Structure 1
Amino acid sequence: DMFSSVLRAQFSLAWVIGPPIAFALAIGYGFEVMYLASALAYLICAFVVWRWLPSLPLPTPNSEVERVSSWRDPSVRALFIASTLMWTCNSMYLINMPLYITRELGLEEKLAGVLMGTAAALEIPFMLLAGYYTQRFGKRPMMLVAVLAGVGFYAGLVTLSSQSALIALQLLNAIFIGIVAGIGMSYFQDLMPGRAGVATTLFANSIRTGSIMAGAIAGTVAEIWSFHGVFMVATALALAALGACWRVPNV
């Protein structure tokens, strides 16, 4: 769990340092230099993988593990639904937030970058804390804390509209995403012993499914209702995720 949390924290760290570097390169030297720098970063990553990462043998299939449909397990099914709903809410926020703060609230465009950067920076300590406290209390209490923070975050977006309030709300957003991203995959793996590959795929599919649902929901609600209404729907979905998460056993 701690390893997964540390690994996921590196993604958030990249979100903190990446955009400012890209902005500085684009403004100072142009987009060509920025994309060349990105290509160079990929080459460095390829060299690191080739030079230092070990080659691991393929795991031996365990014939004793019963090959049954994961969807038949009510615990796995509830966790998949909860995870999908949580990622749906997060994707709806990312899609909707820049347009909401500029078109409906009339705030500065750069605030969108500030909010994303603040959330990414705050996610890092909560990912690390999630890995630590999961070892003490188990995954279910931590996931419930995460979803409760998510409910508070989206409810706050519905009721608050000032710049300072939106920045302060990123603390709840960081708790929400930091814990879900930090322990979500290992939660699936613990519920499906001996089927780590299937568990990892389920978690990844919950993220993809959530992104697909978010695009359809956010676009439809914004078109028919408003950008503000998208956050009302996200609050309802977060509450539904809380109900689904409540049915998952603690491991």
Structure 2
Amino acid sequence: MIIDLSGKTAVVTGSTAGIGYAIARGLAASGASVVINGRGREKVDAAVKRLAQEVEKAKVTGVAADVSTASGCDALIAAQREADILINNAGIFEPKGFFEIPDADWSRFFEVNVMSGVRLSRAYMPGMLKRNWGRIVFISSESALNIPREMIHYGMTKTAQLAVARGLAEMTRGTAVTVNSVLPGPTLSEGVETFVKSLARQNNQSEEEAAKSFVKQHRPTSILQRFASPDEIANMVVFVASKEASATNGAAIRAEGGIVNSIA
């Protein structure tokens, strides 16, 4: 399958590193004009430069804006008025016991993980409907289905993303606009890689052994039995954002290695 996104503009939030960057790179390699987003100008500029080096003839720009706030979303929208593809990837997580999670953390997680996607979808989706083509993808998590007891506030936001995405999909009925969610499992992004290296040192293991041990212990239902790579998640997202995924709408698409022990 050849995915050609030439002539399409894609906005990817939280895309200076990790899964977001891999998605931006995959979209650029498929011909889309990509807008990289992050909170800090320095990281955004570095990611733009890196992507331009890694993808020949990449069409890439960057917008520094904190999409966890209404003003940050407004700044991104002001810099990029229209989008054919919106990837709501920006998100945070933090293991913390339920009784130690203050109200402020619940609000902060909801603003970053949910409201960023709500605000940007509200801004970009009308143009997609008017042009009768568009793709909105929420990067959720297997934690939306398997709520992790060590970070219930995070799981709540990931479930909320599924509800928002499905509701927006209902608004696209009879059009060529789609709204979907992709649910990654444990993924070896930069931050996780640092964590795995630390585990390896502590347990006198190789990094590969430490990663497999972590998955076996903390995600025992995994069929994959390892961390996914950011590129493996990005491959699914690029497909969902493509013209070829025209019959996929309102779906929660799992890319979590079989952790969710269900056939549906």
Say whether the fold is shared (TM-score over 0.5).
no
> Could you tell me the TM-score, scaled by structure 1's length?
0.30
Higher relative contact order (CA 8 A, sep 6+): 1
> Could you tell me the TM-score, scaled by structure 2's length?
0.29
Q: Which has the higher helix share?
A: 1
Q: Which has the higher strand share?
A: 2
